[in-house]
Chains A and B, each alone.
Chain A
């Protein structure tokens, strides 16, 4: 049975996952671009787009999709359990990604 306290848990899980996926997606895109090899920006005279804007937009889109799917497709019990462990899994994703961004500016 769903406790009244857990009623907002699926939405909260969706939001927590969305912010975590934003970070993971942004960092993964940057790392992928660095791994694949990219031209030295000092040799680029004109570019059609700014990678920073694209990365943010794609990360936002992916975060939104994951958040909506999690919020709509998770039971209150499962969401409450996942949220209980958020202080573990959120920093486990975010901190390494942030450190990677210091290594790959």
Chain B
């Protein structure tokens, strides 16, 4: 992957993840406030989970290049950023799994209160883990830049 492609790739990855988190917040709030899951709740849960999976997939594709080309130099100047980056990857994978589980649980069991509760907790955890991963991403992005 060229440096330009890598730059594009990780920016698209970050934008998609931000959009996905904004979407996932909708079912997190509405499943608490309402007694049933509306069409919009399903839509935002599924779209949010899909976008989070897409962002994770883009991250997986860029990870090989990061590991080979970016990580060694980053380690020399900002070792803390390298460690935080690994934590971000762990949390992002967990967030994607939780979001997918939550959206699908909502789809198959939205009629029962217990099903909606189970979906809600997964989506809430996906949002929380995703937010932490995004914060770490901002921290790493601030260090992994050309500098002058």
Contact = CB atoms under 8 A, between A and B. Distances in A.
Interface residues of B, number: 39
Contacts of B122: 16, 19, 86, 90
B90 A26 contact: yes
B63 A91 contact: no
B129 to A, nearest CB: 6
Contacts of B67: 50
Interface string B104-145: 110011011111011111100100010010000000000000
Contact of A105 (B84, B113, B117, B118): B84
B15 interface: no
Contacts of B94: 22-23, 26-27, 94, 97-98, 101
Contacts of B83: 105
Interface stretch (B4-12, B16-24, B40-48, B95-103): B95-103
Interface residues of A, number: 42
Contacts of A20: 101
Nearest to A67: B101
B105 A15 contact: yes
A12 B117 contact: no
B77 interface: no
Contacts of B119: 12
A98 B91 contact: yes
Q: Which interface residue of B60, B98, B100, B132 has the most chain A CB atoms within 10 A?
A: B98
B38 interface: no
Contacts of A37: none
Interface of B: 60, 63-64, 67, 72, 75, 83-87, 89-91, 93-94, 97-98, 100-102, 104-105, 108-109, 111-115, 117-122, 125, 129, 132
Q: Which 3 A-B pairs have the closest CB atoms?
A: A19-B101, A12-B109, A86-B118
Given A12-B112, A98-B91, 7 more contacts: A12-B115, A15-B104, A19-B100, A50-B63, A52-B89, A56-B93, A86-B118
